[in-house]
Structure 1
Amino acid sequence: MLGYLSRPRGDGPFPAVVVMHGCEGMRPSVNDLWPKRLVSWGYVVLVVDSFATRNIQDTCRSTLPDRVFDAYGALNFLSKSSIVDIRRVALMGFSTGGTATLEATKIEGNEQLMEHKFRAAVAYYPACAASQGDATVPTLILSGDRDNWSPAEPCRKRLARIGDDAPPIAFNLYKGVYHNFDAPEFTAGRRVLGHIEKYNPDAAAKSIRSVYAFLRTSLSK
């Protein structure tokens, strides 16, 4: 598995974020913009390239590999680094990477088999499953209400079913907003397989502030 590591200056140990790309692979906002932003906030960042070692170009028209194990492979890699506080690592994913993020942190999922655990999860426009039930960690989901690739309704249904004592799941739904709304490379908008992908600077800014606050709280010592 291939990944890209970036880090703040200093000796650490720092909290960290593992980042999972979407079905189109390593787009600029995931491989460059978000890592720079997260490093500026004080996090080590490991962006996982789930396609390189599998020789996959995209999975938008095909089934996904089991990327949950990529996430935990990245966490295991970080556990061996002296610059990372392995007790304070979040998993963050976009689109299908967001879907994998939710799968990796659901109760009674593969998480229970892993030595190291994530502390928090951030999922941008994932495909929620109403049947996923409780999460194992505090979770932030960010979606647009015009996103017909990852519609909001299954996320709402999942939230309605979580237990009273379960870790909280926050769901930020932005009005008039499409898939990939945080990604400036989609400023002009485009249609892919019948779905609109379009950057929304206002929603992007609001979501970034939410992620900043969520990580600060969730990865505090």
Structure 2
Amino acid sequence: MNRLKGCALATAALVALLATASTLAEQPSAKPVQEVKIPLNYLPFDLKGYLRRPDGNGPFQAVILLPICGAFLDSVDQNWGAAIVSWGYVVLTLDVFTARGIKSGQTCPYPAPPETVEDVYQALNWLVAQQNIDRNRIFLVGFGRTGTVALSTVERDVATKAKRRFRGAVAFYPACGTNKGVMAAASLVIVGALDENRFEACRKMAEGNDDIGISRQHGEGIPIEFVALPDAYSGFDVPQYQEPVEVHGVHVEFSKAATERSKEILQRFLRAVGQ
């Protein structure tokens, strides 16, 4: 019954998002991609990233993208960064792992260390200091384990202590089991409906339910939107997984159709929350 209820909620959310309007017009061009280094206070290394800017003078809303691994920095920048900048946003694609010596091949499936959240806020402060940025409308988007980081970053206990806040956060197929779900910013969770582990954990978090009764109370914090894409698994947006793989019990498989649907959903979320 819970699963049927979750499917109904996810389907309703997807239909509502896709039915709100026709595809929004994209910007015709953007400035060249800039490689940047973001210093971390009190630490002897920098975070590597790519900065994309649309043509024009702004001020522009902005999106920070967190690839699931350092090895996917270029791929996420080329696939997601290029798409989002065409919608009129400044985009910072950020590798929060390599500088700390966290190698993709060995640790990609495992949870991100807690200090990653602090690094993300330092990147936010760096981005706010750049020219022509709308400092009140900056979003955070993560994938897989950085989807979990994105949710943790805007949870109320963390966000209320930060100098700057994100306008909203989007998590693609995160592991939601460690997030209580009391959010200080608008949040969107997108999962593949065929990934039952992430589907159920994220649905329960969004609804304020879990198996042992320690989740947030209904109405506590800013509501979380939850969408489960039909016929999709985790990693549906990663072209490298056109041949499906099993990673520590998680089925990972690319889906062009799910990727395109998720871009439409993300774009409309950014537009709605950024108004």
Provide TM-score, normalisation by structure 1.
0.90
Tell me the SS of whatever aligns to 2:100.
coil
Q: Cα deviation per residue 1:149-197 (whole Å; 9 max; x = unaligned)?
A: x521121211222542632211111233111102222222223233221
Runs (4+) off by over 4 Å? none
Alignment match, 2:228:
173
1:124, CA displacement in angstroms? 0.3
Does structure 2 conserve the Cα–Cα contact (< 8 Å) formed by 1:130 and 1:155?
no
Q: Work out the CA distance in 2 between the residues paired with 1:26 and 1:187.
A: 15
Give the letter aligned to residue 90 of structure 1: F
Does structure 1 conserve the Cα–Cα contact (< 8 Å) formed by 2:59 and 2:134?
yes
Q: Cα deviation per residue 1:81-128 (whole Å; 9 max; x = unaligned)?
A: 1221110000100001100000001121x2121111000111100111
Change in Cα spacing, 1:184 to 1:105, as seen in structure 2 (3 Å) is: same
Change in Cα spacing, 1:145 to 1:62, as seen in structure 2 (3 Å) is: closer
1:153 aligns with 2:208: no
Q: Work out the CA distance in 1 between the residues paired with 2:227 and 2:199.
A: 10
Give the letter aligned to residue 21 of structure 1: P
Give the letter aligned to residue 107 of structure 1: R
Percent identical? 35
Aligned counterpart in structure 1 of residue 137 of structure 2, from 80, 88, 98: 88
Q: Structure 2: which 5+ runs fail to align?
A: 1-46, 209-216
Q: Cα deviation per residue 1:29-77 (whole Å; 9 max; x = unaligned)?
A: 3121100001000111111111221122222355532211121111100
Q: Work out the CA distance in 2 between the residues paired with 1:27 and 1:14.
A: 23
Q: Please show how residues 1-221 of structure 1 align to structure 2 within 5 Å.
A: 1-23=47-69, 25-58=71-104, 59-60=107-108, 62=110, 64-66=112-114, 67-108=116-157, 110-129=158-177, 132-147=180-195, 151-161=198-208, 163-164=218-219, 166-220=221-275
Tell me the SS of whatever aligns to 2:232.
coil
Give the letter aligned to residue 47 of structure 1: T
The RMSD of aligned alpha carbons is 1.9
Q: Work out the CA distance in 1 between the residues paired with 2:205 and 2:227.
A: 14
Tell me the SS of whatever aligns to 1:159.
helix
Change in Cα spacing, 1:103 to 1:200, as seen in structure 2 (3 Å) is: same
Provide TM-score, normalisation by structure 2.
0.74
Q: Work out the CA distance in 2 between the residues paired with 1:62 and 1:151.
A: 14
1:131, CA displacement in angstroms? 5.3
Does structure 2 conserve the Cα–Cα contact (< 8 Å) formed by 1:178 and 1:197?
yes
Q: Structure 1: which 5+ runs fail to align?
A: none
Q: Which has the larger radius of gyration?
A: 2
Give the letter aligned to residue 88 of structure 1: R
Give the letter aligned to residue 238 of structure 2: A
1:144, CA displacement in angstroms? 0.9
